[in-house]
Structure 1
């Protein structure tokens, strides 16, 4: 679990990926770039010791903490099943994700749905309360949307 959380923290550093010719999706067409993803990608991290990674939130993201926040992205499941209640939301499709597909590491956050959502390879839009966690990001997800619902 720590390994996944550490990878998650690295994802938030806003590393972008290159499209590969053999991928099913076109990165330039499929990558989601929005104002809200820019806010998420603005988080910095400090590393006081090995295996310790602490988020540093700027004023902009702090304004949205505890408030409704909407994001469009691609579902990256963390458990098997066609219905997902807790998953990662990514700026690129799952087949372009470094550890689950073909390309580099995208920006992602943890989503906790109020009700299950059906897995899809298409992008989804969800809205929930933005939660910021100051604990070690190598263990705990630093950013999440809780009580999320799909937006039509």
Structure 2
């Protein structure tokens, strides 16, 4: 059995694999209610994932160890949006179900959680995985 077939059997129908390509379909536009401020414009394809349990892979960026706050990045830290190499669509905030041990910077993980699209980020992440757990 191929790896893909095993993954499909393991996942069943309740979890969807979310890709960075799909997250990258997000655009940015001026907020009509607040001129000069920008808001994400989520593609119809991405909107289908909102509120759904998804699986996503990426590199961990510890944001605040004491508050158990982490982000998941499409690329390692040296290439993430904090460093000017990518956009805000390449990082997802993680809200873990249970307190996590400290991750290493750039530790590659597979995580599952409920995707929440943040339409009015106000300096926050535009995506979150809520009730996140390590997967696999």
- What TM-score, normalized to structure 2? 0.71
Alpha-carbon distance change, 56 to 96 in structure 1, aligned in 2, over 3 angstroms:
closer
Which of 125, 131, 137 is 2:116 aligned to?
Answer: 131
Which gives a bigger RCO, structure 1 or 2 (Cα 8 Å, sep 6+)? 1
Larger Rg: 2
Q: What are structure 1's unaligned runs of at least 5 residues?
A: 1-33
Paired residue for 1:149? 133
Superimposed CA distance per residue, residues 45-92 of structure 1 (whole angstroms, 9 cap, x where no aligned partner): 102432x111111111111110001111111111146xx732111011
User: SS of the residue aligned with 1:95?
Assistant: helix
User: SS of the residue aligned with 1:78?
Assistant: strand
- Cα distance in structure 1, aligned partners of 2:45 and 2:78: 31
Calculate the aligned-residue CA RMSD, in Å.
Answer: 2.3
Pairwise mapping of residues 56-71 of structure 1 onto structure 2 (< 5 A)? 56-71=41-56
Distance apart, 1:98 and its partner CA: 5.5
Alpha-carbon distance change, 66 to 35 in structure 1, aligned in 2, over 3 angstroms:
closer
Q: Contact 2:91–2:125 at 8 Å: present in 1 too?
A: no
| Greater CA drift, 122-131 or 41-50 | 41-50
- Cα distance in structure 2, aligned partners of 1:44 and 1:95: 23
Paired residue for 1:104? 85
Q: What are structure 2's unaligned runs of at least 5 residues?
A: 1-16
Aligned residues: 113
- What TM-score, normalized to structure 1? 0.64
Paired residue for 2:74? 91
- Cα distance in structure 2, aligned partners of 1:64 and 1:112: 17
User: SS of the residue aligned with 1:99?
Assistant: helix
